[in-house]
Structure formats: structure tokens, C-alpha cells
């Protein structure tokens, strides 16, 4: 128990680092809004400067559309448990994200719920 403050401090430092590392301002994402969609993973890239998760999402008319969702950098994500095998093409997932301001398909990922119920976020959980 005596280590809890230290753990808390380290966690806070990692969260701060995650923000400080961002190479751009995320201006195109409306971070005042949070939306959820479900879809099928088309591609997952754990890369720098930002990872990307591409989902195929069915619209009301049944037409599938591609939704690119931006993640943090590879190093940031690995620090909080993401790996190249965290998400696979074909996985049915649900995501929380900040939408694009102009209404385009895509956004900034907040968290993804995997088929087994595991939730991966962009911050220490």
C-alpha cells in the first residue's frame, strides 16, 4: 500500500508524457464530443507518428464505409500495453472516438472494445 502514491505519480507522468509527445494539435478532432460505432477491423497499424485503426462500418443503408481512427504513437501505445497483435483484421469491435469537426468519416480513438471484451484505451486504464 505504501507504494500507491508512487504508482499514482508514475501513472500521472506517463499520461502527461502521452500528451506531451503528440506531434500535432489534434485540431481537426472535436474533443468536446464522444461517439461510438461498431465495425470490422480492416487494418491496424502500430506506427509513428500515429497509429491507425481502420474500420469498415455499415451505414443505415447497409453500405460499408471505411473509418480511419487515429491513435497515439507506437511508443506511447506500447507503454500502455498495445502490441502489433492487439487488434486483427476481421475483428468485430466497438470504438469510442472524438469525431472529425467537418463530419468526415473518422476520428481520434479513445478506446476500442475487442471481441473478448477487453478494452484498450489511449491512456493507462
Partner 1 sequence: MLICLTPLAALAQEWKAYPYPDAGFAIQFPAPPTVEKSTFRTAAGVSLAMTRYSVRQDRGVYSLSVVDFSSTNADEKTTIAETEKSMGAAGKVTVAIDARVNRSFGRELSLNGTDGSRSAVAIFFVDKHLYTLVGEALPPNAIEKSGDSIRFQESLQFIGANGGFGGFGGFDAGRGRGGFNPQAQTACAGKAIGDAVQLTTPDGQVAATCTLVARPNRPSPAPPGP
- Helix (H) or strand (E) holding 35, with range, is strand 35-45
Site residues for partner 1, 35-64, by CB under 8 A, read: 43, 45-50, 52
Rounded CA separation 120/51 (Å)? 13
Contacting partner 1 (CB under 8 A), which of 11, 56, 68, 94?
A: 68
Stretch that binds partner 1, among 4-12, 32-40, 71-79, 113-121 (CB under 8 A): 71-79
Q: Report residue 112 as a C-alpha cell.
A: 476500442
Neighbours of 82 (CB within 10 A): 21
Binding segment for partner 1 (CB under 8 A), chosen from 3-11, 32-40, 94-102, 116-124, is: 94-102
Long-range contacts of 51-60 (CB under 8 A, 24+ apart): 51/77, 51/82, 53/87, 53/95, 53/109, 53/112, 55/93, 55/95, 57/105
Nearer residue to partner 1 within complex by CB, 5 or 59:
59
The correct pick among 70, 87, 98, 109 for binding partner 1 (CB under 8 A) is: 70
Residues that contact partner 1, how many (by CB under 8 A): 33
Footprint of partner 1 (CB under 8 A): 17, 20-21, 23-25, 27-28, 43, 45-50, 52, 65-68, 70, 73-75, 78, 84, 100-106
Amino acid at each position: 500500500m505504501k507504494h500507491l502514491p508512487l504508482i499514482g505519480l508514475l501513472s500521472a507522468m506517463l499520461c502527461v508524457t502521452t500528451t506531451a509527445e503528440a506531434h500535432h494539435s489534434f485540431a481537426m478532432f472535436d474533443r468536446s464530443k464522444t461517439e461510438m460505432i461498431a465495425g470490422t477491423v480492416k487494418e491496424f497499424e502500430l506506427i509513428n507518428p500515429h497509429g491507425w485503426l481502420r474500420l469498415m462500418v455499415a451505414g443505415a443503408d447497409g453500405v460499408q464505409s471505411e473509418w480511419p481512427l487515429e491513435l497515439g504513437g507506437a511508443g506511447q501505445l506500447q507503454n500502455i500495453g498495445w502490441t502489433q497483435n492487439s487488434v486483427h483484421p476481421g475483428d468485430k469491435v466497438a470504438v469510442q472516438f472524438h469525431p472529425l469537426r467537418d463530419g468526415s468519416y473518422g476520428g481520434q480513438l479513445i478506446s476500442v472494445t475487442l471481441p473478448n471484451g477487453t478494452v484498450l484505451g489511449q491512456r493507462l486504464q
